[in-house]
Amino acid sequence: MAPSFDRPHDLVVFGATSFVGQILCRHLVARHGTTGPLRWAIAGRSAAKLDQVAADTGADVERIVVDATDAAGLAELAASTRVLVSTVGPYALHGSLVVAACAEAGTDYADLTGETQWMRRMIDAHHAAAEASGARIVHTCGFDSIPSDLGVWFTQQRAIELLDGPCGRIDMRVVAMKGGASGGTIASMMNVVAEAAKDKEVRAILADPYALAPPDLRSGPPQPDVVTPQRDPDTGHWLGPFVMAAVNTRVVQRTHALLGRPWGPTFRYREAMDLGDGPLGAAKAGGLAAGSLAGMGLLAVKPVRTALARWVLPKPGEGPSPDQQEAGSFDLRFKGTTASGARIETRVTGDRDPGYGSTAKMLGEAAVALLDLPRDEVGGGFWTPAAAFGDRLVERLEAHAGLRFTVVDPAA
């Protein structure tokens, strides 16, 4: 089915009653209103909850009742809009029928998934249909993995502009992060661990840094994730594992592959937490590494996952207050080296907590950007944020989502 612009809606938020969905609705109301040129609607499985979201957020737009298990209803929903944005996760449990519906209907799609094994399934199952229909499917449009993916894109563009070519290696350091991951992200991680515990194919996908690249480009130099305490050779600071690295690095390598590997066949990218120097930095790095390893081990135990879901994670629709969201922030540094040894350092910052306030705005801007994305430049298929949007999204995020992309030092 070829995409049609003669549809009732430009954009539909599926999962508007989720906490991130509500923040997204507020963002869309503030940016586009409810009676302006953007024709948008909200969707979810409960009419009463959708009415409450409309009242609470000011999103007095059409409400559409549909469940993530209703294939026929989702097909009708996808056919009614140019862009469908979903906050209904874990996506491996609730997102497959949504992606299938969009791929068949020629409907552009954006989400917040960080589930590598599920993205691989969706690419393998629906890429051909999306190519044929013209649907642009863009996963990972939140904190995982827009800051990393676009941070690498920005760094490479500035390296080409300011130095002697692209970087053959980039290392990202999280130097500050206040607010942490969302309950939805943690729930998705729990499901990933549960799948990996019982399926060796899932474990193989999760361990492969090129797992999301097209089949003919799923190879390259070893790129082990940072899992143990290490020293940064440039600063001497202690490094520890970054919980999002196993997703972000795979997305960046897919971007590189989709672009035709312009940064060279041996391009390497790694992420880590910068925990400072001295004994305190060493203690933090050791504690984080041990805690991460123990945490993954515990999540593999079903009773632990059940207890976390029941007693620890936020319930659907719950999350930090607006004040807490505004108090959050993040600061990422990208350190690149070209083939000649020239070096560059760039910075990506956000002015909201990464898991909720900033993520919702990133998702909203990516979804609206799809409406303006020329089809002769970006056709149907599965894209990453950087490969689909590039500088277009950088500009939107700086203007409307509180992110900043800057060059720290072209000769760092």
Find the mean pLDDT for residues 29-37. Answer: 95
Phi/psi region, residue 286 (left: phi>0; alpha: psi -120 to 50; beta: rest), is alpha
115 with 182, same domain: the answer is no
Name which of 290, 359, 294 is nearest 320 in CA terms: 359
255 with 313, same domain: the answer is yes
282 with 232, same domain: the answer is yes
User: Per-residue confidence at 31, pLDDT binned at 50, 70, 90?
Assistant: very high
Reported as a single tens digit per residue, the pLDDT across 106-144 is 999 999 999 999 999 999 999 999 999 999 999 999 999
Task: State which residues form the domain around 255.
Answer: 146-353+399-409
CA distance 271 to 160: 22
Phi/psi region, residue 213 (left: phi>0; alpha: psi -120 to 50; beta: rest), is beta
- What local confidence, expressed as pLDDT, does residue 346 receive? 98
Q: Is the pLDDT of residue 149 over 70?
A: yes
**Burial call 312-333: b when 16+ CB within 10 Å, e when fewer:** ebeebeebbeeeebeebbbbbb
Name which of 11, 109, 4 is nearest 62 in CA terms: 11
Q: Is residue 364 within 8 Å of 142, Cβ to Cβ?
A: no
User: Per-residue confidence at 304, pLDDT binned at 50, 70, 90?
Assistant: low
- What local confidence, expressed as pLDDT, does residue 186 receive? 76
CA angle (158, 164, 169) in 5-degree steps: 70
Q: Would you say residue 3 lies in a domain?
A: no
Q: 218 is written with which tokens?
A: 């799923």
The mean of the pLDDT values for the chain is 92
Among 73-77, 118-122, 161-165, 314-318, name the one with the lowest average pLDDT: 314-318
Find the mean pLDDT for residues 274-296. Answer: 84
CA distance 170 to 346: 10
Burial class (CB in 10 A: 0-12, 13-18, 19+), 47: exposed
173 with 184, same domain: the answer is yes
- What local confidence, expressed as pLDDT, does residue 2 receive? 43
183 with 151, same domain: the answer is yes
75 with 211, same domain: the answer is no
Q: Would you say residue 2 lies in a domain?
A: no
Among 191-195, 305-309, 338-342, 355-359, name the one with the lowest average pLDDT: 305-309
173 with 85, same domain: the answer is no
Total domains in the chain come to 2
- What local confidence, expressed as pLDDT, does residue 187 receive? 79
Among 146-150, 217-221, 300-304, 383-387, name the one with the lowest average pLDDT: 300-304
Instruction: Give Cα separations from 27 to 13, 84, 301, 400 (angstroms).
Output: 12, 16, 38, 9
CA distance 114 to 45: 23
Q: Would you say residue 21 lies in a domain?
A: yes
Q: Is residue 91 within 8 Å of 346, Cβ to Cβ?
A: no
199 with 292, same domain: the answer is yes
Name which of 247, 313, 271 is nearest 113 in CA terms: 247
- What local confidence, expressed as pLDDT, does residue 306 receive? 73
Q: Is the pLDDT of residue 14 over 60?
A: yes
- What local confidence, expressed as pLDDT, does residue 165 receive? 96
CA distance 360 to 26: 9
Give me the phi and psi of 36, to 5 degrees please.
Answer: -85, -165
User: Per-residue confidence at 313, pLDDT binned at 50, 70, 90?
Assistant: low
What is the total residue count of the chain? Answer: 412
Q: Is the pLDDT of residue 389 over 80?
A: yes
Q: Would you say residue 328 lies in a domain?
A: yes
CA distance 204 to 220: 16
- What local confidence, expressed as pLDDT, does residue 324 receive? 82
- What local confidence, expressed as pLDDT, does residue 170 receive? 98
Reported as a single tens digit per residue, the pLDDT across 62-94 is 999 999 999 999 999 999 999 999 999 899 999
387 with 263, same domain: the answer is no
Q: Is the pLDDT of residue 4 over 80?
A: no
Find the mean pLDDT for residues 37-52. Answer: 98
Q: Would you say residue 22 lies in a domain?
A: yes
Among 72-76, 191-195, 220-224, name the one with the lowest average pLDDT: 191-195
Task: Output the CA torsion 353→138→157→344 (10° steps).
Answer: 40
Q: What CATH code is carried by the domain that includes residue 139?
A: 3.40.50.720
Q: Would you say residue 233 lies in a domain?
A: yes
- What local confidence, expressed as pLDDT, does residue 412 receive? 46
* In 60-145, alpha helices (H): 71-79, 91-94, 96-105, 116-133
Q: Would you say residue 363 lies in a domain?
A: yes
58 with 35, same domain: the answer is yes
Reported as a single tens digit per residue, the pLDDT across 235-282 is 999 999 998 999 999 999 999 999 999 999 999 999 999 999 998 888
Q: Find the distance separating the first CA and the last CA of the chain, reported in whole Å.
A: 50
Q: Would you say residue 1 lies in a domain?
A: no
216 with 348, same domain: the answer is yes
Q: 41 is written with which tokens?
A: 């609607």
